[in-house]
Amino acid sequence: MKNDALSTALSQFDDAADRLHLDDDVRGVLRVSKRELSVNFPVNMDDGSIQVFCGYRVQHNIARGPAKGGLRYSPHVSLDEMRALAMWMTWKAAVVKLPFGGAKGGVMVDPRALSAAELEDLTRRYATEISIIIGQSEDIPAPDMGTNPQIMAWIMDTISMHKGHTVTGVVTGKPVAVGGTLGRVEATGRGVLFVIEELCKQESINLEGSTVAIQGFGNVGSVAANLLRRAGARVVAVSDRSGGVYDGGGLDVDSLVEHRKAKPLVECSGVDKITNAEVLGLPVDFLIPAALEGQITSQNAGDVRARFIVEGANGPTTPGADRILEERGVTIVPDILANAGGVIVSYFEWVQDLQFYFWEEDEVNDRLRKVITRAYREVAAAAERDGVTMRQAAMALGVGRVVEATLIRGIYP
C-alpha cells in the first residue's frame, strides 16, 4: 500500500490546529496551497525524438516571506506529494524562525536515464516554464532528491538570461563559483549532528560510543554518517535503494562513500548485508530515516528498537506510527526541526547573494549551530511544558507563527 504524504501532512496540521484552537476560517486558509503550477513541456532528446515531461511548483504559504523549497527529479513526483512537502516547508521555516514561506517543485523523470545534455535541456525548459512564479523575492528553489548544485546553476543561468543580468538569489544550493555558499552541501547532515548533540546534552547521553543506523545514504545520510562518526558515534548500519550494510563494530563510512560513487552499497565487501526493513529494526541509540516519506508506518513501527528517531527525511513517519512509537517510549525529533539545516544554510546563501558579501565556512557552520540548537531548545521546552511529543510541540510552534503572521497581515482586499 502506497503511503500518502499529503494525508500525513494534513493529519499533522489538523492535530496542531486542534491544540491551538484555530477557527475554521484560519484552518481553511492554511490547509490548502496558495498557488499551484502544473507544466507539461517538450524536450529534444539525443536520438532526435521529442519527449514531453510533467512538472510542478507548489507554493503553500508566503505569510512570513518568499516561498522556499526544493526541486525533486523523480519518476514518483506527484502534485499531492508537492503539496505535502510545500506545507512541511512552511512549518519548517517557521520553527527555525526564517523569513520564508513554504514551496516545493519537481519533474516526473528519472534523471539517471538522461544524458548530461538531456538533463540540462530539461532543466532549462522546466526553469523557463516555472519562471512566471519564481524569483529571488518571490520563490527560491533549492536542490532535493535527484537534483544537485549543477542543476541549480543551470536554473540560475536560465533565469538570468531572461532578466538580462545575473540573478544569483533566484536559487540556493548553487556551486560556490556562481554565488553558492560554503557549507551548503553538508548543511542538512550537519544540522542532524547538531540536533543529536543537543539531544545528548538534554538526555545526559555520551555521543561517543553511541550507536547509529541510517536509512538512506544520499547527501543527507552520508554526510550525517561521516560527521557522527567523527564525533565518536558508532555508525553500525546504512542503506540505500539497493539494500543495507551492517557492522556491529562500526562501518568505515569513508570507504562506503567512495564505493557508492561507482557501485551500489550492497556490493561492498567485508560487511554484512541487510535489508532496508532490517535497518529500521536495529537496536541502536539513534535511528535516522533519511530516505523518502512514509517509511515508518503502523505496520513496522512495532519493530523499531531505537531509543531515538531523528528524521533526516521529510515525512518518514506516519501518524499511525507516531502513536505506536509514543506508546513505546521512543522519542522522535521531527523532520521540520531535525532536517532544517538545509533551509537554514539556504537562507544564509540567499542573504549573501542579496548582499554580494560572502562568509567563511566556519561562520556559516557556527550560525547554523546557533539557529538550529535554539530551535531545538524551544521545541524541547514546549514539549516538556505542554506534556506533548516533540512533533506536536514543533508543529504547534510552526503553525502558530504562521497563523500570527497571517492574522497580523489580514486578508486582502
Distance CA 133, CA 319 (A): 33
Q: Which of 104, 163, 273, 370 is catalytic?
A: 104
Residue 261 is a catalytic residue: no
8 Å CB contact between 149 and 185: yes
Return the closest-CA partner of residue 8 out of 296, 325, 217: 296
Distance CA 301, CA 323 (A): 9
Classify burial at 51, counting beta carbons within 10 Å of its beta carbon; exposed 0-12, middle 13-18, buried 19 or more: middle
What does the block give as the cell for 63? 505569510
Return the closest-CA partner of residue 1 out of 276, 294, 242: 294
Q: Any bridge partners for residue 106, and if so which? A: 56, 72
Sign (positive or negative) of CA dihedral 314, 320, 324, 326: positive
Distance CA 277, CA 369 (A): 32
Q: Which residues are catalytic?
A: 104
